[in-house]
Amino acid sequence: METIIREGSPKTPYVRLDGEKGLIEIKGRSIPENSVEFYKPLIDWLDKYGTTPLESTDVNVQLEYFNTSSSKCILDIFKKLELIYKKGSKVQINWYYEEDDEDMFEAGEDYQSIINIPFSMIEMEE
Amino acid sequence: MGFDLDKWYAQKMQGEVILKYMGDVSSDKITEALEGIESNLNLKNEINKTRKKVYNVFVECIQNLFHHVDVPPVSAHVELVPKFGIIILARDNSFYRISTGNFVRLDKVNIIKDRIDQVNSLSDEEVKMLYREILGNEGITSKGGGGLGMLDIVRKTGNKLEYALYPFDDEYVFFSLDVYIS
């Protein structure tokens, strides 16, 4: 399984999809006007990874902020991971947020309430 | 006497203006505007929480323009660009204000009005619940905006949306929106 790395830009996050380690990382900000265009290849990668996933997949999401159109795409990613989890692989989502950042904390809670998958909220000191 | 854009603009320019933009709301212009805000010293000195909130709400406001604005009417005497919009970020005493303005076709007026009135009628808890419901159940709207923009703004600011629809001519209305971040 190939590894996809996207460097961060002013409007898009750093992304690492590592099929060998079973590691998915999304960091930075996600505010593109056309979020579907940005996230489509990542969703496609997950579809492929989901056919033969590793025994265990770790997902680290550390976003500064994201726009509402990204919020849908992030949910799509989590839904793909939920499918993998339901098929019996171990999947762990770690949602990082800065201390005092209620908005990112609540965003994490939103996803936690929608998807059925181990989900940890991790506070980071500023 | 119809709607006076200069007068509206002058009014919105009150307070300490951090960023003002009038013209085509293209993807590149949005990037420039965001860079402008980020380099603003006063905002840089704000606590992280406030700075991020201002930035995030500004993104939502300007992308709302990007997804929904129309070509302005010729008689408005403004730049005839595909996505004409105005956005001003100012600081008034203890709060930040984001004002947006754009011309909308008459047939869209009721949609905008209903949407904002509905969002404004909800309690904080109801806003959160509706946000989750839409996030979890609906696909991306045809405009790619997700249908969550206004809800997100109200949720993040904790304040109601203040808006006005000024009749302009037989085809257009000027839509003015003020968002306050305390």
Q: What is the pLDDT of residues B37-47, one digit of tens each?
A: 988 877 888 88
CB hemisphere CA count around B121 (13 angstroms): 6
**Among candidates A87, A90, A108, which has minimal Cα distance to A98?**
A108
Q: How far apart are CA A27 and CA B137, in angstroms?
A: 25
A75 inside 8 A of chain B by CB: yes
Mean pLDDT of A32-57: 95
What's the average model confidence in pLDDT over A90-104?
A: 95
Task: Confirm if B178 and B163 have CB atoms less than 8 A apart.
Answer: yes
Could B35 and A126 be called an inter-chain contact, meaning their C-beta atoms sit closer than 8 Å? no
How wide is the angle at C-alpha B34 spanned by C-alphas B28 and B40, nearest 5°? Answer: 140
Radius of gyration of chain B (CA): 16
Q: Which of residues 47-66 of B touch A (CB under 8 A)?
A: 47-49, 52-53, 55-56, 59-60, 63, 66
Residues of B with Cβ-Cβ distance to A82 under 8 angstroms: none
Give percent above pLDDT 70 in chain A.
Answer: 99
Residue of A nearest to B61 (CA): A67
pLDDT-based confidence at residue B182 (cuts at 50, 70, 90): confident
User: Whole-number mean pLDDT of chain A?
Assistant: 95
Residue of B nearest to A112 (CA): B132
Say which residues have a Cβ less than 8 Å from residue A49's Cβ, sequence separation at least 6: A1, A17, A19, A84
Which residue type is seen at B15?
G
Average pLDDT over residues B94-102: 95
What's the CA gap between B20 and B171, in Å, rounded? 27
pLDDT given for residue B141 in this prediction: 52
Domains and CATH numbers, chain B: 5-181 (3.30.565.10)
Q: Domains plus CATH for chain A?
A: 4-124 (3.30.750)
Q: How far is B56 from chain A (nearest CA, A)?
A: 7
B93 close to B18: Cβ distance less than 8 angstroms:
no
Residue A90 contacts B where some CB pair is shorter than 8 Å: no
Average pLDDT of the residues in B60-86: 90
Of A34, A106, A126, the CB nearest to B144: A34
Query: Does B144 have pLDDT greater than 50?
Result: no
